[in-house]
């Protein structure tokens, strides 16, 4: 499933393509949304904004289209009548004179009034966005140690969009690796130094991933590995997806574990299991 950085990059791309332009055609695949097609044709797209892992495409009529990519959804931007071949099912489309924005495979799509966007069940429960550059590590640390979260395992806590929004499986692995925290630990199990490291990583890694096309590894090391012929999947991350490969810090083989039904990657030496 795309995580916060990927969704924000997608929203940026869609915004650049269609915001400020009039919709010459709008398509919904679902029957209950088809009555809105006529309401949106001829209206100007005003903004395309991410909310965690969701996107709202807003129009000057005061209506917005909420979409969540879920596991298989994908956006495609193309020139008119230049739709790439695909076997995917088109779910939502906005046509403008210069660009078409097409959403394939997603099923979680709704039309909302501008007033209803903040109270949408998914949006309303979102925690602070890790891509919010005004959010500070101190605020993240305080939230992490607060009553609702401090006794929950990091493995499940980090996938709770009500804790910090935009974090998914690869960011969870990478944040905990950089902080030196085992996924089975809880905030109350951690030292103040670990909590501080976690709070820093929880912001720095998603923001780096957003700016550098998904790379969470040290940028200098990633560039060095790329230059020496390594594939992207070998230099993109510190630990995620690197089972059996040497830790970039200590050389220990990265291990894959399952917690809460989801895979997570750890360095047994850099992230020892430690409970208080």
Task: Give the residue among 91, 81, 74, 80 at the shortest CA–CA distance from 9.
Answer: 74
Angle at CA of residue 106, ends 102 and 109, nearest 5°: 90
* 262 belongs to the catalytic site: yes
To the nearest 10 degrees (0 to 180), the angle between helices 4-18 and 192-211 is 30
Tell me the chain's radius of gyration from C-alpha atoms: 21
- Catalytic one of 8, 53, 99, 236: 53
Helix (H/G/I), strand (E/B), else coil: 1: coil
> Residue 61 is encoded by which pair of tokens?
């009529």
- Catalytic one of 2, 5, 50, 183: 2
* 3 belongs to the catalytic site: yes
Q: What's the rounded Cα separation, in Å, for the pair 150 and 164?
A: 13
Task: Give the residue among 46, 33, 8 at the shortest CA–CA distance from 108.
Answer: 33
Q: What's the rounded Cα separation, in Å, for the pair 263 and 66?
A: 29
- Catalytic one of 88, 139, 262, 268: 262
- Catalytic one of 3, 6, 110, 174: 3
* 234 belongs to the catalytic site: no
Torsion of CA 86, 92, 95, 100, to 10 degrees: -40
Residues annotated as catalytic are 2-3, 53, 262
């Amino acid at each position: 499933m795309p995580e916060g950085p990927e969704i924000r990059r997608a929203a940026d791309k869609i915004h650049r393509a269609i915001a400020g332009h009039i919709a010459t055609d709008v398509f919904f695949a679902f029957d209950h949304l088809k009555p809105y097609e006529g309401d949106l044709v001829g209206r100007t797209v005003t903004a395309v904004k991410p909310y965690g892992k969701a996107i709202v495409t807003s129009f000057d009529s005061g209506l917005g289209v909420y979409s969540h990519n879920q596991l298989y959804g994908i956006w495609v931007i193309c020139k008119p009548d230049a739709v790439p071949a695909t076997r995917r099912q088109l779910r939502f489309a906005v046509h403008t004179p210069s660009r078409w924005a097409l959403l394939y495979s997603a099923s979680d799509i709704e039309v909302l009034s501008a007033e209803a966007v903040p109270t949408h069940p998914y949006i309303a429960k979102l925690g602070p966005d890790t891509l919010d550059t005004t959010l500070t590590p101190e605020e993240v640390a305080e939230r992490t140690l607060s009553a609702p979260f401090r006794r929950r395992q990091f493995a499940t806590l980090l996938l709770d969009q009500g804790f910090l929004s935009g974090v998914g499986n690869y960011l969870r692995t990478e944040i905990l690796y950089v902080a030196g925290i085992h996924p089975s630990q809880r905030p109350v199990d951690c030292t103040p130094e670990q909590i501080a490291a976690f709070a820093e990583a929880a912001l720095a890694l998603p923001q780096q991933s957003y700016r550098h096309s998904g790379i969470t590894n040290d940028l200098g090391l990633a560039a060095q590995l790329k230059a020496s012929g390594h594939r992207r999947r070998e230099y993109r991350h510190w630990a995620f997806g690197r089972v059996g490969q040497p830790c970039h810090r200590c050389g220990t083989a990265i291990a894959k574990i399952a917690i809460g039904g989801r895979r997570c990657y750890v360095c047994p030496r850099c992230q020892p299991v430690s409970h208080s």
